[in-house]
């Protein structure tokens, strides 16, 4: 049976300099997915820079982070010939569609959206007023995200658990527009839950996160990588003690990034005793250098030749607008009875 062409879309928010937790949990799986889509399928990958504006008001920083994320995806193997790659802010059709969708979005949906609820919970925990520091961009975040998705007649949105609800909101908004006008105005998208990539712990044992100051940078120099790896917390058991690998932070980090043979060697060294933490750190550092050196070089190249990246993004934006314009017009024709 011939495979019907599908549109698959993913957005990435430029909100922080990438660390290896982002790499194993988001960047690597997204690129593997992109490079394995069916020949007939359309794959879209975009930098969600307007979503980042909700949180980042420092313009040079936002500019830098947007650059970094675009270069990182290219350096890690995203192929702009295969995937439509652009910046959200270059597609004005998305913002017109957002305005339209607003009129069909029950306010109650927004009250229940995870990103907003998480911000309210944070405020409540700090004894602050519920809506302190929350702007309308964050509150209505799922509507812009719905426009990101619906503008291309997207079929599938591969996402992590935390984003499934946002895709369901997009499907609900599209569904209610279709029901109201009794026709298929917008394609109903589906979330595809990416296999739960494991959470990589940071150098202190908590989840690796830019917020915890416990990261191993994705594109650090060898010296920076070394500093971060050597700083991974260890206990003071004797080198010859037989240890349970599951109790050892270094082992958990290795499991997230090292090839199976290295993980097995570390596992055996810990179980049998005799392998010191310093040795494991050296092995881990070598794994990181092997995995990242070439990507880092490409990343540095793109960062210092950003005009080339801008050119790719601009070409992507032109194509994306060509896809979004007829969808937007289709919606306007229906709602204004043109």
Distance separating alpha carbons of residues 85 and 49, to the nearest angstrom: 13
* Partners of residue 7 on adjacent β-strands: 42
Regarding 210 and contact with ligand ADP (CB under 6 A), the answer is: yes
Nearer to ligand ADP, 160 or 245 (CB): 160
Contact, 86 vs 46, CB < 8 A? yes
- The Cα-based distances of 34 to 76, 110, 161, 198 in angstroms read 12, 30, 19, 19
* Partners of residue 47 on adjacent β-strands: 12, 87
* Partners of residue 9 on adjacent β-strands: 44
Q: What is the dihedral of CA 293, 299, 302, 306, to 10 degrees?
A: -150
Residue 203 contacts which entry, ligand TRP, ligand ADP, none (Cβ below 5-8 A, type-dependent): none
Stretch that binds ligand TRP, among 8-16, 27-35, 131-139, 255-263 (CB under 6 A): 8-16
The residues in 143-162 that bind ligand ADP, with binding defined as CB under 6 A, are 160
Regarding 249 and contact with ligand ADP (CB under 6 A), the answer is: no
Interface residue with ligand ADP, options 25, 80, 189, 316 (CB under 6 A) = 25
Nearer to ligand ADP, 124 or 206 (CB): 206
Nearer to ligand ADP, 34 or 186 (CB): 34
Structure tokens, 17: 């300099």
- The Cα-based distances of 298 to 35, 58, 78, 226, 293 in angstroms read 18, 27, 12, 20, 9
Report how many residues bind ligand ADP under the rule CB under 6 A. Answer: 16
Distance separating alpha carbons of residues 229 and 245, to the nearest angstrom: 18
Residue 51 contacts which entry, ligand TRP, ligand ADP, none (Cβ below 5-8 A, type-dependent): ligand TRP
Regarding 22 and contact with ligand ADP (CB under 6 A), the answer is: yes
Regarding 164 and contact with ligand ADP (CB under 6 A), the answer is: no
Residue 15 contacts which entry, ligand ADP, ligand TRP, none (Cβ below 5-8 A, type-dependent): ligand ADP
Distance separating alpha carbons of residues 307 and 313, to the nearest angstrom: 10
- The Cα-based distances of 273 to 37, 221, 242 in angstroms read 45, 32, 4
Nearer to ligand TRP, 138 or 232 (CB): 138
Residue 269 contacts which entry, ligand ADP, ligand TRP, none (Cβ below 5-8 A, type-dependent): none
Nearer to ligand TRP, 113 or 253 (CB): 113
Report how many residues bind ligand TRP under the rule CB under 6 A. Answer: 13
Contact, 150 vs 97, CB < 8 A? yes
In sequence order, which residues have a C-beta less than 8 Å from that of residue 193 and are 6 or more positions away? 158, 159, 160, 161, 164
Least distance in angstroms from the C-beta of 30 to ligand ADP: 8
Q: Which residue ranges make up the site for ligand TRP (CB under 6 A)?
A: 9-11, 13, 48, 51, 145, 148-149, 157, 159, 163, 166
């Amino acid at each position: 049976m011939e495979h019907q062409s599908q549109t698959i879309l993913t957005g990435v928010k430029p909100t922080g300099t990438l660390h290896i937790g982002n790499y194993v949990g988001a960047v690597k799986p997204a690129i593997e997915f992109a490079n394995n889509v069916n020949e007939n399928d359309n794959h879209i990958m975009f930098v969600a820079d307007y979503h980042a504006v909700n949180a980042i008001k420092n313009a040079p920083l936002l500019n830098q982070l947007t650059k970094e994320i675009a270069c990182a995806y290219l350096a890690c193997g995203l192929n702009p010939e295969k995937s439509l790659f652009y910046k959200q802010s270059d597609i004005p059709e998305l913002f017109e569609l957002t305005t339209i969708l607003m009129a069909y979005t029950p306010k109650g949906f927004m009250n229940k959206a995870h990103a907003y609820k998480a911000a309210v919970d944070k405020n409540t925990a700090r004894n602050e007023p519920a809506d302190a520091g929350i702007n309308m961009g964050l509150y209505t975040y799922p509507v812009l995200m719905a426009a990101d998705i619906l503008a291309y007649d997207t079929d599938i949105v591969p996402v992590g658990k935390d984003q499934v609800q946002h895709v369901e909101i997009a499907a609900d908004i599209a569904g209610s527009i279709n029901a109201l006008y009794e026709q298929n105005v917008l394609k109903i998208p589906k979330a595809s839950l990416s296999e739960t990539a494991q959470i990589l712990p940071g150098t202190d044992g908590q989840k690796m996160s830019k917020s915890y100051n416990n990261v191993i940078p994705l594109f650090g120099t060898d010296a920076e990588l070394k500093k971060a790896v050597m700083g991974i917390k260890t206990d003071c058991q004797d080198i010859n003690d037989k240890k349970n690998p599951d109790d050892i932070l270094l082992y958990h980090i290795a499991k997230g990034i090292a090839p199976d043979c290295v993980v097995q060697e570390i596992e055996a060294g810990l179980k049998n005793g005799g392998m010191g933490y310093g040795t494991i750190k050296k092995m881990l550092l070598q794994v990181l250098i092997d995995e990242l050196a070439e990507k880092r070089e490409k990343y540095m190249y793109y960062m210092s030749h950003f005009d080339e990246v801008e050119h790719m993004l601009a070409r992507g934006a032109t194509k994306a607008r060509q896809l979004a314009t007829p969808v937007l017009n289709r919606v306007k024709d229906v709602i204004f009875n043109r």
